[in-house]
Structure 1
Amino acid sequence: MTKAVFRVDANKEIGIGHFSRTRALADEIKNLDFTPVFVTKNDSKVIELLKDSEFEIVKFNGEAENQLETEIEAILSVCPTLVVFDIRSTSHELIAALKKYGIYVVSFDDLGEGRYLADIVVDANLSEEKNPKKLETNTRYLLGEDYAVISKECRAAKKIRRDEKFIQRIIVSCGGSDPSGVTPKVVAGLSNLSTDVEVELILGPDFAPSAKLNEALLNSARTFDIVESPKNLFERMRKAQLGIISGGITLFEAAFLGLPSIVVCQNIAQLKNLPKFEAIGGIINIGLSSNNPILNLTPIVRSLESEEKRKAMSRALERLIDGKGVDRICGAIMEVMGR
C-alpha cells in the first residue's frame, strides 16, 4: 500500500481541531489503498489521542535547533507518496524538500509560503475572492464550505431525529481544549436560565482543570451536566435544540447536524469563519471571547424559543454544509495523483 503522511500537532494552545480533521481524512483515505502515518512533535497531544488506534506514529523533536531538518527527516523516513499538512503555515523550504522527491502535498488552511508549492490547498474558510494568491502556480485550491471535513461519526449521527418543539437541552462545546476559557463565561451567562432547560457542558480531551469554571459553577443559581470527552458527542449535538459553541471545527460539525447555535470565538481566525453562517441566519455571533468579559446569554436563548425560528436556522445550516467534503477532497487527491 502507498504511504500517506499526516503532519499535524495538537496541544492546549492550538487545540485538537487540526488533528480531528486529519484523523477524519485518514479514516477515509484508507479505503483508497493508502496507509496513513501520523508525524507529530514528541510533546504533541496527537500521541495520546492515537494511543489505542491502528495508526503508526512517527515523532520528532520540535524543540531541536535544526527543527526543519528534523521534521523533514521524520517525514521522509516513512517514504510517503503523499503528505497532508494541517499546521496552518508551511515554509517554502519544507515543501520544496518534499517536492524534490516527487511527493504529492496537500495542505489545510495554509497561509505560509509553502502553499504555492503544494499540489492542493484546502480551506473551507476562504472563498476564491479572499484567497491570498501572491504567485500563479499549478496549485489546486479547494475553497469554501463544500470542502469542510465532516467525520464519519458525525455523518452517522445525522440519522437521529431532533425534537424541535421546545428548547429542552442546550449543549456547550468550546473545542478540545478551550484555550480562551469560554466555558466558565458561558456558565456565568446562563446562571439565571430556567432549570426546565438542561445544559450539558462538554469538556474536551485536552481541557485542563479550571478554578474559574469551578467558581462559576459554585456561584450559579442552576445546575449543569458536565460530560468529559464523550464518545457520542455528535449524537448529543443532534439531540440538543440549541448549541453554544466555538467557531472552529465544531462550527462546521454543528452546521452539518443542523444545530442552531450561539457562537463565541476563541480567536480572530475563528471569527473569520462566521460571516456566511451569520448571513444565512444559522447562528448568533457573539464575537470574540476576549472582547466579552461577561456573556449575557439568557436573553439570547429566550429570543430563540420559537420553534419556527430554530427550524429555519437548522435548515439553513444543513443546506450550507452537506457533509461530502471528505469525498470531494479524496476525489481531488486521486485526480492530481493520476489514480
Structure 2
Amino acid sequence: MKDKIAFLVAIGNRIGTGHYRRMWNVNKYFRSKGVQTLFFAVSEVNSTQLEHEVMQLDELGQLKDHLIENKVEKIIIDIPALYYYDPIFTTIRSLGVQITWINDSAEARIQAGEKLISCSLNFDSQQSDDYVFYGLKYVILNPLISELASTQRMIQPKIKKVLVSFGGTDPNGITLRLLNLLDGMKGIWDNNLEIDVILGSSNIDLSSLHTDKFPYKMYVHQYIQDMAGKLLSSDLAFISGGMTMYEACSLGTPSIIINQNSEQNDEAASFHNRGAVYNLGSYNQLNAVSLHDAITHIQGQTIREQMSKEAKSLIDGKGIERIFQIV
C-alpha cells in the first residue's frame, strides 16, 4: 500500500477516548507495514494526553489545508455521528480523497466509492459486500491484547481480584458511584479481595471514599500501559460497553458492564444475550440491589467459565489486519 493515509478522530470529556485509542492502534499497524500516515484529532483535552505525532484541530474546517499540503489519498474517519453533517466532508470528497468510515452503529451516510466498517455484534449477521463490512471480526484491539487473544484462560474457583475501569474520561462518574456502592456491601466478598481502580484523564476525587476504611484492598492507578496484564490477572472486571469490553472479551475476563451511553448499552445487551458478559444497563440505573444481584450471579466458577468461553469465541483479535486489507 503506497497511498498516504490520514486518520481523523474526535476526543473529549464527553466523547471519551475510545475513538482515539482504537484508531491509534490502527495507525501504528499501518505504519509497521510501511504506510505513510497522518493523524488528526478534534480534541477538547490537553495535548499532553495524546501521542506527540497527533495534530490537534480546534474545528474540522482546519483539516482541508493539511490534506492538500500533504497530498493525502485516503482518510479513515472514526468520529461520533454528531459530526457527520459538517461541511468538511463535502470538501474532502471534492478533493478526491477516498473515505473509509469506522462506525459501530453503521450510521455514516456513505456515498459511492466510500467504505463503511461496523464492528458491532448487532450487525454481525448482516451481509458484507465490497464497500460495507459488518461484524465482530473487525473489532480493533490493542496489538498486545490481540497477541494474547488466543491464550487459554483459566478461571479461578473464587473471585480474589477485581478490575474497575470506565474509560479515559468516565464522563458520568461511574467509578466513584460503583465504589461507593461496593463500600456498603461488606461481606459479599472475602475481606482479602483486591480491587484495581484504573483512572484516565478524569482525575476523579476518591477522597470521599475514606479508602483507609474501605472493606477491600484497593489500588488506584492512572494512565497504565499494561491493560492486557490487568485484565488477565483479574477474576472479574467492572467496565463499560466500549473498547474495554471488547478487550476483556477477547481475553476471556468475566465482566459486569455499566454503560456511559445508549450505544454502549445496546452493544452490551447483545453481548449479555449471548452469555458473554453481565450487562447492568445504563449508569443512571445503577443501584445497590441490581449490583448485588449481578455479583451474586457471577460468583460461581461455572458461570464465569461459561461466560469466559463465550466471550473469547466472539472476538479473535484480527480486526486490524482485516481493516488493512480493506483500505
> TM-score range, shorter-chain basis?
0.7 to 0.9
User: Which string of whole-angstrom CA distances, capped at 9 and with x for unpartnered residues, describes residues 142-198 of structure 1?
Assistant: 112111111202123444854523211111111111111100122122222432221
Of residues 181, 192, 197 in structure 1, which corresponds to 2:173? 181
CA distance in 2, matches of 1:15, 1:271: 15
CA distance in 2, matches of 1:81, 1:127: 29
2:4 matched residue in structure 1:
3
Q: Does 1:307 align with 2:301?
A: yes
| Amino acid in the other structure paired with 1:261 | S
CA distance in 2, matches of 1:250, 1:47: 22
SS in 2 for 1:107: strand
Structure 1 contact 58–74 (Cα < 8 Å) conserved: no
Bigger Cα displacement from structure 2, 281-290 vs 150-159: 150-159
Change (3 A) 1:302 1:295: closer
CA distance in 1, matches of 2:269, 2:257: 12
CA distance in 2, matches of 1:295, 1:108: 37
Of residues 161, 169, 182 in structure 2, which corresponds to 1:169? 161
Output aligned runs, 1:18-97, within 5 Å: 18-41=19-42, 43-45=44-46, 48-51=49-52, 56-62=53-59, 67-68=60-61, 70-89=62-81, 90-91=84-85, 93-97=87-91
SS in 1 for 2:4: strand
Change (3 A) 1:101 1:18: same
Of residues 250, 253, 256 in structure 2, which corresponds to 1:256? 250
Output aligned runs, 1:136-285, within 5 Å: 140-158=131-149, 159=151, 162=154, 164-191=156-183, 192=186, 193-204=189-200, 206-210=201-205, 213-218=206-211, 220-285=214-279
Deviation at 1:96?
3.1
Bigger Cα displacement from structure 2, 252-261 vs 156-165: 156-165
Change (3 A) 1:77 1:295: farther
1:336 matched residue in structure 2:
none
SS in 2 for 1:184: helix
SS in 2 for 1:297: helix
Structure 1: where are the runs of 5+ without partners?
132-137, 334-339
CA distance in 2, matches of 1:160, 1:113: 37
CA distance in 2, matches of 1:237, 1:128: 25
Count of residues in Structure 1 that have an aligned counterpart in Structure 2: 315
CA distance in 1, matches of 2:106, 2:248: 25
| Amino acid in the other structure paired with 2:55 | V
SS in 1 for 2:72: coil
Change (3 A) 1:320 1:259: same
Change (3 A) 1:100 1:57: same
Change (3 A) 1:130 1:116: farther
Structure 2: where are the runs of 5+ without partners?
none
CA distance in 1, matches of 2:14, 2:148: 29
Deviation at 1:4?
1.1
SS in 2 for 1:231: coil
CA distance in 2, matches of 1:238, 1:261: 12
What TM-score results when the alignment is normalised by the length of structure 1?
Answer: 0.83
- RMSD over aligned Cα, in angstroms? 2.6
| Amino acid in the other structure paired with 1:127 | F
SS in 1 for 2:267: coil
CA distance in 2, matches of 1:157, 1:236: 13
CA distance in 1, matches of 2:162, 2:234: 6
User: Which string of whole-angstrom CA distances, capped at 9 and with x for unpartnered residues, describes residues 6-61 of structure 1?
Assistant: 1112222111110111011111112333112111236445663202xxxx333333
What TM-score results when the alignment is normalised by the length of structure 2?
Answer: 0.86
CA distance in 2, matches of 1:71, 1:156: 34
| Amino acid in the other structure paired with 2:111 | Y
Change (3 A) 1:44 1:221: closer
SS in 2 for 1:34: coil
SS in 1 for 2:15: coil
- Report the identity percentage: 20
Structure 2 contact 155–301 (Cα < 8 Å) conserved: no
